Every structure is written in structure tokens, then in C-alpha cells.
Amino acid sequence: MEYNEIVSLMQEMTKMGLTRIKLERENFKLELEKNINIVPAEALTIRQGVENTKRNETVINEAMVSESMASGAKANAASDKDILGTKRILSPMVGTFYSQPGPDKPAFVSVGDTVKKGQSVCIIEAMKLMNEIESEVEGEIIECLVENEEMVEFGQPLFIVK
């Protein structure tokens, strides 16, 4: 067997996912064994540490969202009692509230404006993404509950609509 045939055999072995091959002919014997990726214990420990850190971050983030939802629910309950006959536009996420599409642009909506379902009312920046928030209710904006560039929580009321 020649060198290029052995190389070709090795390539086929890799393609087929084989880790070991044994070939015997009359006066010829060839055994090829491919090393399986063996990860040193140190690398495994580091990788597990990273995975544990990611799991902990996930648990912390879930706890923050739950806490945020709980505080948002309390605020919503208080708003319901204070202003009956009104609807609220709520923040669908945690982020930074922007009342206008750009620094030199007018606000999406102001007190006294009439909003329709699907109309953009603000932008919330979350993780460097600008999310245009659309109204899910129709009516007149009677109060804006958030200042421009203020941090908002999930479920926090942004506008009161009558």
C-alpha cells in the first residue's frame, strides 16, 4: 500500500466518523486509530465553572423579571383603584423609555392626543435594540407616567388613556 492510499484511507475514516480501522492483507498489516478529543480535567473544570456561572446568571435574571413583574403588578393594582374608567399602555419589557423617535423629532404622542390601536407611542431601548411600542388600546392620552430617558420595568404603566 502506498502513502497516498493510506492518506486517502485516513480521509475516508474521518468522513465516516470511524475512530479505528484495521486492515490485513497477505504480507501487510495496517492499523489506524484516531485520537478521540480528550479534554484535560482542568479544561473540564473551567467549562463547568462557566456553565454554572451562566446558570446562576439565568436564575438571577429570572428572579429580577419576577420581582419586576411583582412590583409592576402592585403599581397596576394601585392605578386601577385610583383612576377607574381608564386604560393603561404598559411597558412590555425592561429598558429605557424614549418619547420621541430622535433627538430633534416631536414626541410620538402627547397629553390630549388620540391614539389608535397599533399606533406607535414610544420607543423602549433594551440591550441596544430600539423597540417601537404600539398602543393596544384606543382613546385619548390623559397622562404620560414616564419621563423621557427614564428606566422602565416590565408591566409598568407608561400612559393613561381614556
Give per-residue pLDDT as tens, 21-41.
887 888 878 887 776 555 555
Higher-confidence position of 28 and 57: 28
Element (H, E) at 77: helix 41-82
- Overall number of domains in the chain: 2
Q: Kindly list the distances between the CA atom of residue 82 and the CA atoms of 58, 76, 86, in Å, as whole numbers in the listed order.
A: 36, 10, 10
> For residue 26, what is the DSSP state?
T
Specify whether 77 is located in the same domain as 131: yes
- Residue 81 — pLDDT band, cuts 50, 70, 90? very low
Res. 77: pLDDT tops 50: no
- Are residues 27 and 47 part of one domain? no
Residue 123 in this model has a pLDDT that exceeds 90: yes
Task: Report residue 6's pLDDT band, with 50, 70 and 90 as the boundaries.
Answer: confident
Q: Give every CB contact of residue 101 below 8 A, 6+ residues apart in sequence.
A: 108, 123
Q: Are residues 20 and 68 in the same domain?
A: no
Q: Kindly tell me the burial class for residue 118, based on how many C-beta atoms sit within 10 Å of its own C-beta (0-12, 13-18, 19 or more).
A: exposed
Where is pLDDT greater, at 134 or 3?
134
Give the DSSP letter of residue 107: P
**The pLDDT of residue 80 is above 50:** no
Q: Is the pTM of this model over 0.85?
A: no
Rounded to whole angstroms, the Cα distance separating 94 from 150 reads 11
Are residues 29 and 48 both part of a single domain? no
Name the nearest CA neighbour of 141 among 104, 86, 100: 86
Q: Which domain holds residue 20?
A: 3-33
Residue 19 is classified by DSSP as: S
Average pLDDT over residues 70-79: 49
Q: What is the pLDDT of residue 94?
A: 94
Find the mean pLDDT for residues 134-148.
Answer: 94
Residues counted in the chain: 162
Using CA atoms, how far apart are residues 159 and 109, in angstroms rounded to an integer? 10
23 and 61 inside one domain:
no
Summarize the confidence of residues 101-110 as an average pLDDT.
92
The whole-angstrom separation of Cα 97 and Cα 10 is 60
Do 11 and 76 share a structural domain?
A: no
Pick the closest to residue 91 from 117, 49, 58, 125 (CA basis): 125
| Residue 36 burial (10 A CB sphere; 0-12, 13-18, 19+) | exposed
